[in-house]
Structure 1
Amino acid sequence: MTDWTTRSVAWASGGLLALNPADFLEPAGEPGIAAPNSMSWRVFGNPVSMAVGGVAAVLLELGEPRVRAGVWDHSSFRTDPAGRIRRTAYGAMLTVFAAESRFAAYASRVNAIHAAVAGAADDGRRYRASEPDLLRWVQTTAAFGFVEAYEQLVEPLGPGQRDQFCAEAAVGARYYGVTEPPETAASMRALIATSVPQLTPSPVLGEFLAIMRNAPILPSAVRRLQPALVRAALGLVGPEALAAMTLDGEAQWTAGERRWWRRLARVAEVVPRPGDPRRMARRRLSRPAVAGRPRS
């Protein structure tokens, strides 16, 4: 096994997430909101494309002034970026791979937090994090980032597969209080396109990119990949959105880097990973449910 492959396995082995196995192994036999043969299991199962897509999604989220204020003023991203990213990534894994009861409880806690977040954006508009259009934007950018990264790094998807992924993502979105989430690839891209003119530049975007490049976020064995991760994410966002946020001058991944990320993502598809939530979810589903046992 080559050195770069070894490092990729170290990254994919759960050092970033530190999963609690019970969240994915219990309750025995209980299904989640997505089935093992779902597109969500395929897309969320690759840690490399999820990392690239996740950074791209956050960039788009932070381009929206009200979302930007909610994230930057009411979370620990600046003081504890690794912890904030870990918790966000953990929530994504719970959405797809946890039993429905565990995920529903988690979503309820998140909704309670959002209900208490309010303030003013840098353009003067008041906001509440629970506003339907803001929740829809956060969910849509996440779905876009994850599926776009998967298509570019792992394998191309057909139109029906993209629509299936969006429909599955909409199911999870409703647990988070999102009304009218996009349920097709066309409606997802239409929402992105119509929202791009509302994105604005901000020093926060530069601060976020600097944190992602330099803060100790990834495990030490692969920390030097962080600047390349940022370039890859910028390459996913799209020229119109980058221009709206005045990030079009930022370096994006080169053709060589894109090929390297594809190799890394494809290794992650086949190399066994300790603490893989997809594997733990399969174990949960393979065990018989306990009759009369209350849901967690």
Structure 2
Amino acid sequence: MLDMHPKKASPAKVLLSPFGRFIDGMAVRAMFPPGSRAIDFSQPPGEAALLSSDSLSWRIFKNPVSVLIGGITAVILELAEPAVRTGVWEHSSFRKDPLRRLQRTGLAAMMTVYGPRRTAESMIAGVVRRHERIAGTTPDGVAYHASDPELLDWVQATATFGFVTAYSRYASPLSEQEISQAFAEGAQTSRLYGAVNAPASADQWELLLERMLDRLEPSPIILEFLDIMRSRALLPRPLRSLQGLFVRGAVELVPPQIREHIGLKEKYVLRLGDVSLLRLLCAAADNTVLPSSPPAQACRRMGLPEDHLYGR
């Protein structure tokens, strides 16, 4: 199951120094596409999110490093399913403009967890409408539709698995009970996307994996995606050298039976010291408050201190 490691809680650090403000600004620029309007998660005051501020999801999604790593893991699993892979690769900008696609996906995740309820529900409704227009045929001649509940269940489940596993492995270990709680919270919001049977516990996730294994397959597109994540200029310049590390860390999180099944067993293997560095980076991110980030802004919206989610 998940690899647990001891970690002492550290006090949260609010970035107020000039260097801290630089890091804070860099994180905001990495989230929002150039020319787009940054969303203020601190407004309107007092409006609740889809999930409680005391939820496990609020704690997990505050960590930008583990969210990035877990997001890569989720996409690997999504692309292993032929219908999802065809839909993503043929009906999105991932290949031509991967940065903008990642930013939109990351912003959607932040809005689902931290956004004011009415704004989050409006955004999700827009995603559902776009899915209704996406349909086609896989290279093997199988018809698919992006609003197929079974495909949506897989996409939502892999997202939860990726984010939760990356956080537990590299940032702060989660108990089996907490892992199931995270799946239950994910299932709650997934229904709004049309994923009505997304797994609501770790056991249900394992059952879904067993059912899906025969449908998953290797594809050059998975390798192309990983090459994009490793080599394109996706992160701000000071952080680009870490992209290969994050890809290797993400591949490591893919369940071993799937990693072997889709041909990644011998590729992107973690190097000596990689795990220690990943844990160092994720632990630092887990205890550093970025005042302009959605988690900190959402805390202010709810009348909570900016460091409410840190050091817990």
Q: Quick check: TM above 0.5?
A: yes
Counterpart Cα distance in 2 of 1:112 and 1:228:
36
- Report the alpha carbon displacement of residue 249 of structure 1 after superposing the two structures with TM: 2.2
Contact 2:50 2:112 in 1 (8 A): yes
Counterpart Cα distance in 2 of 1:21 and 1:121:
36
Structure 1 residue 14 corresponds to structure 2 residue 28: yes
- Report the alpha carbon displacement of residue 236 of structure 1 after superposing the two structures with TM: 0.5
- Report the alpha carbon displacement of residue 192 of structure 1 after superposing the two structures with TM: 2.1
Structure 1 residue 122 corresponds to structure 2 residue 139: yes
- Report the alpha carbon displacement of residue 190 of structure 1 after superposing the two structures with TM: 1.9
**Partner SS state of residue 257, structure 2:** helix
Q: Determine the structure 2 residue equivalent to 1:268.
A: 285
Aligned AA (2:101): R
Give the one of 189, 202, 208 matched to 2:206.
189
Change in CA separation of 1:10 and 1:28 when aligned onto 2, cut-off 3 Å: closer
Change in CA separation of 1:12 and 1:96 when aligned onto 2, cut-off 3 Å: farther
- Report the alpha carbon displacement of residue 14 of structure 1 after superposing the two structures with TM: 2.4
Contact 2:82 2:216 in 1 (8 A): yes
Contact 1:24 1:97 in 2 (8 A): yes
Counterpart Cα distance in 2 of 1:14 and 1:136:
30
Give the one of 276, 281, 297 matched to 1:280.
297
Contact 1:11 1:221 in 2 (8 A): no
Counterpart Cα distance in 2 of 1:260 and 1:190:
33
Q: Determine the structure 2 residue equivalent to 1:143.
A: 160
Number of equivalenced pairs:
283
Structure 1 residue 234 corresponds to structure 2 residue 234: no
Change in CA separation of 1:176 and 1:72 when aligned onto 2, cut-off 3 Å: same
**Partner SS state of residue 286, structure 1:** coil
**Partner SS state of residue 54, structure 1:** helix
Q: Determine the structure 2 residue equivalent to 1:202.
A: 219
Counterpart Cα distance in 2 of 1:80 and 1:125:
27
Q: RMSD across aligned C-alpha pairs, in angstroms?
A: 2.1
Counterpart Cα distance in 1 of 2:39 and 2:169:
33
**Partner SS state of residue 94, structure 2:** coil
1:126-185 C-alpha deviation (Å, 9 max, x unpaired): 100000110000000000000000110112212221121111111110111111111111
Structure 1 residue 99 corresponds to structure 2 residue 116: yes
Range that drifts further, 243-252 or 134-143: 243-252
Change in CA separation of 1:181 and 1:119 when aligned onto 2, cut-off 3 Å: same
Counterpart Cα distance in 2 of 1:26 and 1:202:
43
Change in CA separation of 1:61 and 1:80 when aligned onto 2, cut-off 3 Å: same
Counterpart Cα distance in 2 of 1:227 and 1:147:
21
Greater share of helix? 1
Give the one of 57, 68, 72 matched to 1:55.
72
Contact 1:14 1:274 in 2 (8 A): no
Change in CA separation of 1:223 and 1:108 when aligned onto 2, cut-off 3 Å: same
Structure 1 residue 112 corresponds to structure 2 residue 129: yes
Gaps of 5+ in 2: 1-18, 305-312
Give the one of 176, 180, 196 matched to 1:159.
176
**Partner SS state of residue 127, structure 1:** strand
- Report the alpha carbon displacement of residue 233 of structure 1 after superposing the two structures with TM: 0.7
Contact 1:141 1:192 in 2 (8 A): no
